[in-house]
Each structure stands twice: as C-alpha cells, then as structure tokens.
Structure 1
Amino acid sequence: MFSQYVFVVRMAMKVHVFLRFATLILYLALVRISSAQIPETEPPYSIHIRAELDPAARELAAEYDLRYTNQTPDTLHELVIHLWAQAFSSPLTAYGRQKRLFGDTEFYFLKDDQRIRYSFLQFSSGKTFLDIEQVGDDPDIVRIRLGEPLPPGEQVDLHADYHLALPGFHSRLGTDGTIWQLAHWFPKPARYVDHAWQAIPYLELGEFTQDFARYQVDLTLPDSFVVVATGEPADQATYELRELALETTRNGSSGMPERTGTRQTWSFKADWVPDMALACSAAFFLQDGLISLSDGRKARGQVAYLASEAKRWESAMDDVDRSTRFYDQHVGPYPWPFVTAVQGVREFSGGMEYPMLTYIQPG
C-alpha cells in the first residue's frame, strides 16, 4: 500500500542527499587543504547530452560532450570514466558476481540480447579518436588516454557517440515496456583524490562518491511521452510541454494531448548536482505544486505515476510537500528548484533517490 509512511521513507532522500552534501563539502575542504587542490569556483566538469530514445527498438542513441577542468594539483595524462550501464553486459561483472552472491541466478542465465549494454561507444577530442582501455577486470571502468597532458587549472573537451541497448530492466536502468528509467546511463568521470583515481564498479548494493557537476540533457522521443528528470526545464519549449502534460492530467488523461506520431525534445539543466537521472512514459499522469521553503524561496514539487495507480498516488503531492519542508527546516536548506517523485518500473524494488528525483517502488 502506498502509505504516507512508505512515501516519507522513500523521500528520505532529502536526509540522504543533505548529509552526503554536508559530509562531502567538509571532506573536500579538508582534501583541498591537505592536497593543495585548486579552489573550486566551478564544478570540475560539465556534461551536455543530446539523446534519442527509440521505444520500439529499445535503444538510446546519444551525442555526449564533456568539458573537464583539472582541479587537482597533478598533471593528468588520462581520464578514468565509469560506464556503469556496462555492468549489466555480462554475468562476470562486479554487479553480476554480487547478484550470484545474494542468491540471484536469473541475471547469470540471461541471453546476450537480454542484457543492457553499450552497443557502441567512441570518444574523440577534436578530430582525433581516443583509445578506450578497460581498467582491471571491470568492463564498466575505462581509461581514456588524452592526446596532450592536462596541467592543473586547464580544460579538455571530449566528445562521445554512444548507443545503449535497453532490452529490459536491470537494477535502476531500463524499461518494462511502459515506464523508462534512465539512471547511470551515460559515461561519468571518476573522482581524482589524493593523487589517484577513485574507480568503483557498479554494484546492486554499495556506495560510491561522485563529483558535483553541471548537466544539460536534451531527450528526443515520441510526442506521446511525458518526461521528468533531475533539474529544471532548460528552455521555453520544455516548460510548454510540461504544462501540456499537467493540463492533460487535469482533464483525466495520461501522456500528452496530441499524439501525431512525431517526435519532440524535452530539455533539462541542473547545476552543482552529483548525478542526472530521468524517467518517461506515455502513460504518466503529472501533478505539481509549489513548496514554501524556510528561507522564503519556493521549490516546484511534482509527481509522475501511471493512471492505473492514481488511487495510491492521490496524496503523493501533499507527501512531497510535507517531507521536503520537514527536512528543509530540520536538516538544512533544500538547495534545488525541483523535487520530483516518480513511479518506477514493475521490476523495480525499494526505490532510489537522485538529485531532485526519487524513483518510487510500484505498488
């Protein structure tokens, strides 16, 4: 049952995120003092992704631009990148080994065409293609050799083209055919701390650290889909699409009002966040409301869920409002402009929080 208790537990991401934020800021401050790191006036990197989702083919194709600033005291000759979606490409990955350890053998016996994976990936810098080397035994950690050394304070721009095969759902990424969850779905730089890269394979149960960064995502998909994401709308067109989705829900229908078979683009931006996640469906209801924060600011709360679950979600917006205000008052100021709770896919269990967005376990 979708009780207030369960929802507040899932929305405990506010405590989780706030405490991580506070701890990480203190940790980074100490690291800067001890390691003489370059002061951070900007996030160490920014990522812009232009992606197209093909629901029929169950594939995502993307162009990816990374601007990385060396905020370390060392000259870098490589970047270490997490490809966490590749953790599902084989039963022999750290993720697969952990699943077996927990007694789950279903993942082990999947056929290759049932596995989420990078079906294509190419990095380049300017007109030069860059070598991609696997780090150790984990295919979801790779090394990109830079064409030139990157001294402290300097920037490098990298481009990537990649395709993700999304035949099903693993952990927090994929689809059940109705809802699409996009988490850990793009190449993500590892952190460089104390003169070393912190490269961590993806695990079903585990923790990892991430740098705060700046993101923009432009997701193109069929015009029947509603999209929610980390961040806020990046352009007027996305604000208008969002308003159409809200109006459609108020009129008692799911998805978008005009289904012409064309494609449209939803754009989102987010500053100083450690990750970027999305969810989309042609069957979403979307509701929203303003949340009054303790310092006088207002955040925009929203919930997205399937029409078939409307009864269970009827108080969800009130729960988002109440839980956000509680943690804002008692833990620390909520730092971002949006708070989103979204229903996860059928196979999703437990729920998971990302900046500004929490996936909620179905039912």
Structure 2
Amino acid sequence: MKILCALMIVVGTPLLGFSQTGYWQQEVHYNIKVALNDKQHSLKGDLSVDYINHSPDTLTFIWFHLWPNAYKNKNTALAKQLVVLNESKNPLSGDKKKTEATEPGFIDSLKFVVNGQTVSTENDTANIDMIKVILPQPLLPGKQVTVATPFFVKLPNYYSRSGYSGQQFFVCQWYPKPAVYDNTGWHQMPYLDQGEFYSEYGSFKVNITVPSEYVVGATGSLQTKAELDRYKQIGIENNKGVKSALYKTTTPGKSKTLQYVGDRILDFAWFAAKDFVIRYDTLQMADNNTIDVFSYGQTGGNKTWKNSTSYIKDAVRHYSNWIGQYPYPVVQAVEGPKNQSSGGMEYPMITLITSPNAKEEEMDAVITHEVGHNWFMGILGSNEREHAWMDEGINSYFQFRYEAEKYRSNSLFGNMIPKEVKELDVKDFQARIYEVLNSIPAKQPINTASAAFSNNEDYGIVEYVKTAVWLYIIENTIGRDTLDKGIQSYYKDWQFKHPSPEDLKKELEAASGKNLDAIFALLDKEGKLL
C-alpha cells in the first residue's frame, strides 16, 4: 500500500515441481462470473475454485476470506483498527481515515458446495469476514476439490481500498477466497487497513458484466477482442497528447460481458468507470516479448497523469533489469478519485494510484513503487501481514534507487534536497539520502508485524524507510553488484512461491559468500540501525 506520500511530512499453469527440498504450497484455480449493478452499487456472482492440496496433510475444512464483511459494521477488525489509528494520528499528518462507510458493505447469499455436494460452514467467532467450509470427505495429499458458491456483495462507499465513488467502482477484496495453508498451518486473517495480504497462487478466469457505457481495467489479459481493440485505439490517440478521447458505447442501455484471464497470480481486482481516460502503449522486453501497457485516468485528474504509461514502462524496465524479467503480458495503473482514504493499492498486473497533487517526479516515483509491487508481493508472495518489510521495504529500496538515478531526488523529501546534493553523483547522492533516513526515529524493529503498529506513521517509517536503510547497509557490506546478483537469484528461485526471511538470507549469503547473521539480526533491532 502506498504510504510514502504520507511520510513526506515526516521527512491455468500448474505450480508443480518445487525445487526447494521439502517445500510445498497449495494451488487454486478460479472461475468467476460477476455482474455489476451500478444503481445499487452491488455485485452478483458465482464462484468456482479448484483447490489442490500439495501439503503432506489431510484437510477436513478450508478457511475462506469473506473480506467485504469487513465493511459491515463498527465491530469488525477493520473498523476497530481504524478507530485506533485515528486516535493515534498526528493532527498535522493529514485527514483522518474513515472508520466506517456511510453505506456499509457486506457479502451474503452464500451457498457452498464441494464437488457438487452442499456442505456446512462454521462462522469465525471473532471475525465475520472469515468462514470455515467443512469438506464432505477428507482431502488427501495430492488430491483436489472444487468449491463453488453464489455470492452477493454490497459495495461500501469508497474507503480502505475498495468501494464506489459516484459512478466509479474500485472492486477489490470482493470474492470468497481460500486462506493460505502452509507449513505453519492456516492463515485465516481478517481484513485490515494497515496490514496487507497473504494469498495462494493459481489462475483466474473472470467474466465481468457491466453496463455497456463502462470502461473496465482489471487484473489479467482482456480476452474480449473487440473491446481490447477499442481500448488500444482510444489509448493510442490519448497518448498523442491531443484532446482526450473518451470511450463511447455503441449499445447504450445494454450490458456487456468482458472476460479476463491470468496465470501464476494470487489475487484479482478490477476498476470500472464511464469516464476513464484510456492510455495505451507497448513495451518490448529483453526476451523479444512485447507487453501491453494501459493506464486509466480521471477526466479532471492530475495533469502529470499524461505521462503515466511512460512512467509505467520505465518502472518495468528498471525492475526487470535489476531483479528479473516481468513475466506477465500486461501492466496497468488506475488513477483514483480525489481523496486519499485508501492511499493507493497494488494488485497483480494493475495498481490503483491516488496522488491528486503529485508533481511529475513524485508521480513517477509513486507509480514506480506501486508497479514494483508486481515483483515484491505479486511474484515473490511473502506473508505481508507478518513480514511487511519483505514487500514494502525491499520495494522502497529499489524505488529510492530509481529516483536517485533518474532525478537525483527522493519522494520523502520533496523539494527540500539542497542543490549541491542534487549535483552529486548517484553513489554520493544516495549516501547523503540514507544518512538522513537512518536518523529518522524508528523505534520498532523491522520484524514487527504490520498489525502491531499503533499508527500509520510508525508503520511507514519502519517497514518502508528503515528496511530500505537496512538493505542499503547490505549493499555497502557486500557491494551493489553482489546484492543484485543475490536478489536476482532470490527472484529466480522463489518466484510464484512464498519465501521467508530465511530464504532471502540464504540467497544473499550464497551470492556474497559471507555470513550475514549480524546484518539479519538488525531486523530485530529497535531504534537506529547504525
């Protein structure tokens, strides 16, 4: 989740054959049909998910997330957390987040069947956004079941990543989703605003039905050729810098169904609006593969959004060069409405950006950070709730590197960097930046779970900034080239899997030939790292 801007004021492919000895992970394949009612702000859908048990354990139930219920009332984990975060918020740091919706959200009309057989469920006693689906027969290791259910979702007014704003829809955390089961057991976690996700990999086939006037941006590749061709045509025209061309339906008052597919991904989000300004470009990758680059902007949005596809492309180029090749056929960004209730949020192949006042360098940095989450979260699927630093902090290190190389800037400082510092070479510039970043008070250890922070500011400083400082220490200990070699090996060995801190340590030690116990011990250090 994008929190760096808020900190400025402070300063169907099977996933079999795992190479790691004894390593396993579960596998899921979704088939979802969903229809949007833009008058009632609701969704009606049908879910079918093939769940494959690669664990050595026999399962008698599967936990499912019902995250739309997090928006239902004042007693959910989300609502309670937002109250605490608001009470602890520095009044100078910006508007407080909403603690509840004026229109609550929820999910209902569920009727789970497993392999065609109606089954019983058990509600979680503590969280209404979790449910246990009881299997009619034990699921043995290596076996598969198909779990299906209809569902109805009432979307809240937009806050904390999801909902609607006028006739724009930000559909995130919206479908019943199996929780992760790994070698430590089930991870049945409630939805939180501060604290992100942990999800199983698999494939998605999603049919989205909307009124024909709407433009849709979604995870995955759009399979509806006529719609895709129109998006590209309009997007090319808008990227020429002429007066914005808007999507016009040829069938007003009717509906249309768009199909999206995606493989080796762990979530699916989609966004719909009648007045999205589509921009389109392509990016040639090193393996001679061309990927589609889309952005969806607001008609009265930030003027710097005109450069959005250029920023997306540059981010993908840099991260592919530093870490490993971008593996998906499309990359996209959506400009959110003019509020910052959710900050911004990344999903596979698409990200929401909410930076209505960002200047060009800052907008580039924000887009790069969010697109970068395709690597650190999307491809390297760590447990974000327990180890937020493994996605947010490592990603921030590479974002800071991008800003330093391209602009001699850092978005945490805005225009406060002295002219003489901006004239330094990249190495010296970053040394000065990190010297200041290390001085920012950061009491909690990096290894603090995201939900254990009492406010957003401490969470951002520790998980984003302190972690970037920590990785910079590693860079100076083993050398940037060696660090890059280790990160590239980490990416190669752990892509589309669930790496742990120990897995990252082993990769960096193998690349450097050094024992990094002392540096990794800094993850548990309070206060300054140096």
Please classify the TM superposition score into its range, dividing by the shorter chain length: 0.7 to 0.9
The whole-number CA distance in structure 2 between the counterparts of 1:45 and 1:205 is 26
Give the equivalent residue in structure 1 for 2:167.
178
Structure 1 residue ranges, 4+ long, deviating more than 6 angstroms after superposition: none
Contact in 2 for aligned 1:233/1:269 (Cα 8 Å): yes
Matches within 5 A, 1:315-334: 315-334=307-326
Q: 1:273 aligns with which of 262, 265, 272?
A: 265
Deviation at 1:296, TM superposition (A): 2.6
Q: 2:75 aligns with which of 75, 78, 92?
A: 92
Give the equivalent residue in structure 1 for 2:352.
359
Q: Does the alignment pair 1:69 with 2:61? A: no
CA distances 1:172-219 after superposition (whole Å, capped 9, x unpaired): 111101321111111111111126211111110113321111001110
Change (3 A) 1:124 1:285: same
Give the equivalent residue in structure 2 for 1:82.
65
Deviation at 1:234, TM superposition (A): 2.7
Q: Does the alignment pair 1:290 with 2:279? A: no
The whole-number CA distance in structure 2 between the counterparts of 1:64 and 1:196 is 24
The whole-number CA distance in structure 2 between the counterparts of 1:230 and 1:347 is 23
Matches within 5 A, 1:215-226: 215-226=204-215
SS state of the match for residue 300, structure 2? helix
TM value normalised by structure 2: 0.58
Larger radius of gyration, structure 1 or 2? 2
Contact in 1 for aligned 2:236/2:280 (Cα 8 Å): no
Contact in 2 for aligned 1:255/1:281 (Cα 8 Å): no
Q: 1:211 aligns with which of 190, 200, 217?
A: 200
Question: Which residue identity lines up with residue 326 of structure 2 in the other structure?
Answer: Y
Change (3 A) 1:305 1:191: same
Change (3 A) 1:109 1:50: closer
Q: 1:197 aligns with which of 183, 186, 195?
A: 186
Question: Which residue identity lines up with residue 194 of structure 1 in the other structure?
Answer: N
The whole-number CA distance in structure 2 between the counterparts of 1:318 and 1:296 is 19
Give the equivalent residue in structure 1 for 2:465.
none
Change (3 A) 1:237 1:47: farther
Question: Which residue identity lines up with residue 321 of structure 2 in the other structure?
Answer: Q
Q: 2:149 aligns with which of 160, 166, 171?
A: 160
SS state of the match for residue 314, structure 1? helix
Deviation at 1:350, TM superposition (A): 2.2
Deviation at 1:222, TM superposition (A): 0.6
Question: Which residue identity lines up with residue 148 of structure 2 in the other structure?
Answer: H
Give the equivalent residue in structure 2 for 1:341.
333
The whole-number CA distance in structure 1 between the counterparts of 2:278 and 2:227 is 14
Change (3 A) 1:195 1:323: closer
Give the equivalent residue in structure 2 for 1:131.
120
Question: Which residue identity lines up with residue 76 of structure 2 in the other structure?
Answer: T
Q: 1:313 aligns with which of 305, 313, 323?
A: 305
The whole-number CA distance in structure 1 between the counterparts of 2:351 and 2:288 is 24
Stretch of structure 1 that moved more, 102-111 or 199-208: 102-111
The whole-number CA distance in structure 1 between the counterparts of 2:251 and 2:303 is 26
Give the equivalent residue in structure 2 for 1:13.
none
Deviation at 1:328, TM superposition (A): 0.9
Name the structure with the higher strand share.
Answer: 1
Change (3 A) 1:264 1:241: farther
Give the equivalent residue in structure 2 for 1:231.
220
Give the equivalent residue in structure 1 for 2:132.
143
SS state of the match for residue 309, structure 1? coil
Deviation at 1:101, TM superposition (A): 0.5
Deviation at 1:106, TM superposition (A): 7.5
Question: Which residue identity lines up with residue 83 of structure 1 in the other structure?
Answer: L
The whole-number CA distance in structure 2 between the counterparts of 1:120 and 1:238 is 31
Runs of at least 5 residues in structure 2 that lack an aligned partner in the other structure: 6-14, 88-95, 357-530
CA distances 1:88-131 after superposition (whole Å, capped 9, x unpaired): 112111111110101269755656xx111114222123553222
CA distances 1:47-78 after superposition (whole Å, capped 9, x unpaired): 11100001011111001111111111111111
Aligned length: 331
Deviation at 1:239, TM superposition (A): 2.7
Stretch of structure 1 that moved more, 218-227 or 203-212: 203-212
Give the equivalent residue in structure 2 for 1:253.
245
Q: Percent of pairs identical after alignment?
A: 25
SS state of the match for residue 170, structure 1? coil
The whole-number CA distance in structure 1 between the counterparts of 2:257 and 2:100 is 37
Deviation at 1:243, TM superposition (A): 4.1
Question: Which residue identity lines up with residue 242 of structure 1 in the other structure?
Answer: Y
Deviation at 1:259, TM superposition (A): 4.7
SS state of the match for residue 33, structure 1? coil
Contact in 1 for aligned 2:298/2:337 (Cα 8 Å): no
Question: Which residue identity lines up with residue 153 of structure 1 in the other structure?
Answer: G
Change (3 A) 1:241 1:70: farther
Query: Looking at both structures, which has the greater relative contact order when contacts are Cα pairs under 8 Å and sequence separation is at least 6?
Result: 1
SS state of the match for residue 300, structure 1? strand
Deviation at 1:295, TM superposition (A): 2.9
Contact in 1 for aligned 2:71/2:100 (Cα 8 Å): no
Change (3 A) 1:158 1:237: farther
Deviation at 1:311, TM superposition (A): 2.9
SS state of the match for residue 79, structure 1? strand
Name the structure with the higher helix share.
Answer: 2
Deviation at 1:166, TM superposition (A): 1.4
Contact in 1 for aligned 2:67/2:174 (Cα 8 Å): yes
Deviation at 1:168, TM superposition (A): 1.0
Give the RMSD, CA atoms, in angstroms.
Answer: 2.5
Contact in 2 for aligned 1:91/1:97 (Cα 8 Å): yes
The whole-number CA distance in structure 1 between the counterparts of 2:97 and 2:249 is 39
SS state of the match for residue 81, structure 2? helix
